[in-house]
Amino acid sequence: MATRNVSPPSGRAEHRWRAVAFPGTLTKPMSIDAIESALKPYLKMKQDLLERSWNDKIVDTLAIRLRYRLGSQATRACTARGGDIHIHISCVDYGANCYQQQESHIKSHTSAAKVSSMQKIISQFRYVFLMSALLMAVTLSGSTRVYAQKVVVAHRGASGYLPEHTLEAKAMAYAMGADYLEQDVVMTKDDQLLVLHDITLERTTDVASRFANRARSDGHYYAIDFTLAELRQLRVNEGVREAVNTRSAVYPERFPVDASSFQLNTLEEEIEFIQGMNKSTGRDVGIYPEIKSPEFHRAEGKDLSTAVISVLKRYGYMTKQHKVFVQTFSYEELKILHEEVLPAAGVSLNLVQLIAGEATYDWMLDAQGMKELARYADGLGPEKAMIIDRDSTPDDIIISDLVELAHANGMQVHPYTFRADEGQVPHFAENFEELLDLYYFDANVDGVFTDFPDKAVNFLRSKARTTR
């Protein structure tokens, strides 16, 4: 994939400054040099003035002052966030005040004929800045909508606070304001749809102590080998490391491994739970089910996709306007869903292709591959390092063209997984909020999967407030 580097004009605080103030410019992060390049239509007026024999010093003042105002605003714009609006204001201020000063200065040093010519040029400048002012008003009035369009997907619920995929974790995420709650779906021995991230049970339940003799030859306990009644006997816990026997937590600062009491639930139970909260609160929180390991299930004689879509239809999820995304890592299953399962069920739902940094997905990452993928997918769910390179530094954020390619082909982009635990924020971001800022607004993703939905929701709300 092609990448673009976002370097600060000077100082770290400026590396996220974006300019969308001027007609026809790019809506992505730009350096001062790039902004000046975008301003060429305006700075060209300097040459127009020179060609009319105006004093070099006066003309230089016009151009330099414009550059100076851009530069002097940069740090404040970035610190306050929303540098685009500050850039608009800078230019409008310049048009309203600075050109009047220049006009006055020129009148006192030139002939009447030259003044008449200069007034025409100035009127052209004023037109440009009037347009900038109009764009500023549109940006200000639309800014809240922009932030509102960015979504928060609660990754396995509020899994940073409570054991993943429990109804308690989903209730917490709902209360925190998440836009979508995720469900990973596997199938049981008796064809029930279970909300569980792994196709095995030992990481998040006490299955080994309750059914010690039910492991397969590889040592794993597969959900598909148990009936729902048997699975109801298990106690769900915070995720533990599978490679050790001490049941130590993957994230030690999260909910204690063996505290309290949680259980597994079915997809139907979770949908009813979410729809019940939607009714009682008046909200419309969506669902985001994943077809887990479809090839494994097919090898076991289970058609997981058809079963999931049947349940979604039964609960009223039938069109792309309904708040549901169906995701899978399997491109072959994505095509089956699009070409066979959805048409057979008489529904049309948003499909998302999940991708990881593996050779399997390499063909999707260029313009032709993305175009082909968009025949079947409405969205893309990449591992977040595929968008901002792990080798980025605070002063050199390396952003791939993945989001741009997806958007160009009509697909939304929801990367995973954003965690605020110690050691989980990449070194190029000062904190979790800065990480969100880089992805939501520099990389321009449409939403994120996060274990900490409250932090993402609060971040977006804060951004919206600062632009009112």
pLDDT digits (tens, 9 = 90+) for 353-384: 999 999 999 999 999 999 999 999 999 999 99
If one counts every other C-beta atom within 10 angstroms of the C-beta of residue 400, the result is: 19
Residues tagged active-site: 155, 197
Q: Which residue has the higher pLDDT, 460 or 97?
A: 460
Residue 70: predicted pLDDT: 38
Q: What percent of the chain has pLDDT over 70?
A: 67
For 25-48, give one letter per residue: b (16+ CB within 10 A) or e. beebbbbbebbbebbeebeebbee
Does the pLDDT at position 8 exceed 50?
no
Residue 247: predicted pLDDT: 82
How far is residue 51 from each of residues 28, 101, 111, 112, 407, measured CA to CA in Å? 34, 21, 16, 17, 43
If one counts every other C-beta atom within 10 angstroms of the C-beta of residue 440, the result is: 22
Q: Please state, in angstroms and rounded to a whole number, the distance separating the CA atoms of residues 143 and 147.
A: 6
Read off the pLDDT band of 466 (50, 70, 90).
confident
77-81, 256-260, 290-294: which has the minimum mean pLDDT?
77-81
Does the pLDDT at position 245 exceed 90?
no
Does the pLDDT at position 147 exceed 70?
no
Amino acid at 115: V
Domains in the chain (CATH in brackets) are 3-148 (no CATH), 151-466 (3.20.20.190)
- Residue 416 DSSP code: B
Read off the pLDDT band of 20 (50, 70, 90).
very low
Q: Which residue has the higher pLDDT, 121 or 95?
A: 121
Residue 92: predicted pLDDT: 31
Does the pLDDT at position 49 exceed 70?
no
Mean model confidence pLDDT for the chain:
79
Which helix (H) or strand (E) covers residue 223, if one does?
none
Q: Please state, in angstroms and rounded to a whole number, the distance separating the CA atoms of residues 44 and 34.
A: 15
Residues 6+ apart with CB under 8 A from 294: 304, 305, 328, 330, 332, 333, 336
pTM above 0.95, yes or no: no
End-to-end CA distance of the chain: 37
Residues 6+ apart with CB under 8 A from 23: 131, 135
Residue 1: predicted pLDDT: 57
pLDDT digits (tens, 9 = 90+) for 433-460: 999 999 999 999 999 999 999 999 999 9
If one counts every other C-beta atom within 10 angstroms of the C-beta of residue 361, the result is: 19
Read off the pLDDT band of 465 (50, 70, 90).
confident
Mean pLDDT of 311-326: 98
Does the pLDDT at position 133 exceed 80?
no
